[in-house]
Amino acid sequence: MTMNGSANAVELHGVVKKFGDVTAVNCIDLTIADGEFFSLLGPSGCGKTTILRMIAGFEFPTAGHLAVDGQKMGLTPPDQRPVNTVFQNYALFPHMTVLENVMFGLLMKKVPKDKAREAAKKVLDQVRLGALGERKSSQLSGGQQQRVALARALVNKPKVLLLDEPLGALDLKLRQEMQSELKSLHTEVGITFVYVTHDQEEALTMSDRIGVMSEGNLLQVDTPDRIYEHPTKRFVADFIGEINMLAATVADDGTVQLGSEQIKLDGLSPEVGQSFTLAIRPESIDLTGPDQGVEPGLNQISGTVTHRTYFGDAYSYDVETGGGVLSVRCDNRPDHQRFNEGDAVKVSWRPDSSSVLKD
């Protein structure tokens, strides 16, 4: 247990949470660094919100323990933890004005009233709501309520800010706007953000690191690009974006047998004869004519286009190959060579742009 400033913001050690017979969170170890923007990503019911609620102190682990800012939390109630929460539907106090909402935490911490008011006004300015302090929260739009909720939490300068699907109730345009605003706010205040979402795009665009969860398990913790480009589990690959998953086996000469085709794989060396799932993103694959030359060192397989879909900014092709059907996505650039259904083609990709998946 470290007491200095470089302590990890949040640590979970073997944390389990059961509700009756249901295991909501299954033995999770996780360290979130000071100042990090960390996202917990997963479908609803995967346990991500339960983890957030345990950090906040609304739930207590059934087993294991967690620490905030190097302090073991144990049964510490929420009001004595150095964290604040932005709730899913904001949970603004309807019987108070915006300013009173933002001042609440400071007044509870016995900050003198005039100082609290000053600090609250400053944070409201920061979220560009300075003029609305005297309004009741019910008189605000969704986006404004969202900002008040942020201000109400940030004004307390918590060690960790917990955000529970804070953009879920906003429409698309506003959500995208708030994403970049949240990101710059994070940089500005330097507080650790723990962000719960089921929206992969939100997680990818804002986070320093993402933890992907499913059914109470933390499947992979990594940077957004690693999570997207090199998922390690079938669920992670499938949950985020589109991906080709192909059955493969390790051939005796160290190459990979993909149906009737042989390809190369970087970095990983599974045992000979072992079968696994090879994953590759549609946009990582190049499509060329059957006679066109391909850069040496790339994996290449020939196949036939069976289906083409137009997306405006891109074309998506289904290509039948000896290794299985591959979905290929090509940007619709002026120099894009368009193929038709039935055309013979060659697909190619870099050996390091595919991933090996375990269940």
Partner 1 sequence: MAALDQSAAQADSRKGRLIATPAALYLLFFFMIPLGVIVTYSFATRTATGRTVLTGWNLSSYDKLFSELVLRIIWRSFWMASVTTILCLLVAYPFAYYLATRAPKVRNILLVLVMIPFWTNGLIRIFAIRFLLGSDGPASQLSENLGFGTFRILFTPTAVVIGMVYSFLTFMVLPLYVAIERMDWKLVEAARDLYAGGTVAFRKVTWPLTRSGVIAGSILVFVPSFGSYVVPEILGGAKTMLLGSYVARQFGAARNFPFGAALSVVLIAVMLIAVVINQRAEANRA
* Dist CA 234 CA 225 (whole Å): 16
Helix (H, G, I), strand (E, B) or coil at 3: coil
* Shortest distance, position 270 Cβ to partner 1, whole Å: 47
Q: With respect to partner 1, which residue has the nearer C-beta, 88 or 176? A: 88
* Dist CA 282 CA 354 (whole Å): 10
Q: With respect to partner 1, which residue has the nearer C-beta, 108 or 272? A: 108
Q: Which segments within 79-153 are labelled E, that is strand?
A: 83-86
* Shortest distance, position 74 Cβ to partner 1, whole Å: 16
Nearest to 219 by CA among 357, 102, 339, 319: 357
* Dist CA 339 CA 34 (whole Å): 50
Helix (H, G, I), strand (E, B) or coil at 102: helix
For CA atoms 247, 250, 254, 260, the dihedral sign is negative
* Shortest distance, position 93 Cβ to partner 1, whole Å: 6
Q: With respect to partner 1, which residue has the nearer C-beta, 8 or 88? A: 88
* Shortest distance, position 99 Cβ to partner 1, whole Å: 14
H/E stretch holding 53 reads helix 48-56
* Shortest distance, position 80 Cβ to partner 1, whole Å: 8
Q: With respect to partner 1, which residue has the nearer C-beta, 77 or 273? A: 77
Contact footprint for partner 1 (CB under 8 A) = 56-58, 77-80, 83-85, 87-89, 91-95, 104-105, 108-109, 152-153, 156
Partners of 330 in the β-ladder: 315
Q: With respect to partner 1, which residue has the nearer C-beta, 83 or 182? A: 83
Partners of 277 in the β-ladder: 247, 357
Q: Locate 359 and state its tokens.
A: 């269940």
* Shortest distance, position 227 Cβ to partner 1, whole Å: 29
Q: With respect to partner 1, which residue has the nearer C-beta, 31 or 88? A: 88
Strand 209-214 versus strand 37-41 pairing type: parallel
Q: With respect to partner 1, which residue has the nearer C-beta, 80 or 340? A: 80
The amino acid that residue 36 corresponds to is E
Is residue 335 classed exposed, middle or buried when 0-12, 13-18 and 19+ CB atoms within 10 A define those classes? exposed
* Shortest distance, position 44 Cβ to partner 1, whole Å: 17
Are the C-beta atoms of 228 and 240 separated by less than 8 Å? yes
* Shortest distance, position 258 Cβ to partner 1, whole Å: 51
Q: With respect to partner 1, which residue has the nearer C-beta, 139 or 184? A: 139
How many residues would you count in the chain? 359
* Shortest distance, position 139 Cβ to partner 1, whole Å: 11
Question: Residue 97 gets which letter from DSSP?
Answer: B
Q: With respect to partner 1, which residue has the nearer C-beta, 94 or 293? A: 94
Strand 160-164 versus strand 83-86 pairing type: parallel
* Dist CA 289 CA 302 (whole Å): 9
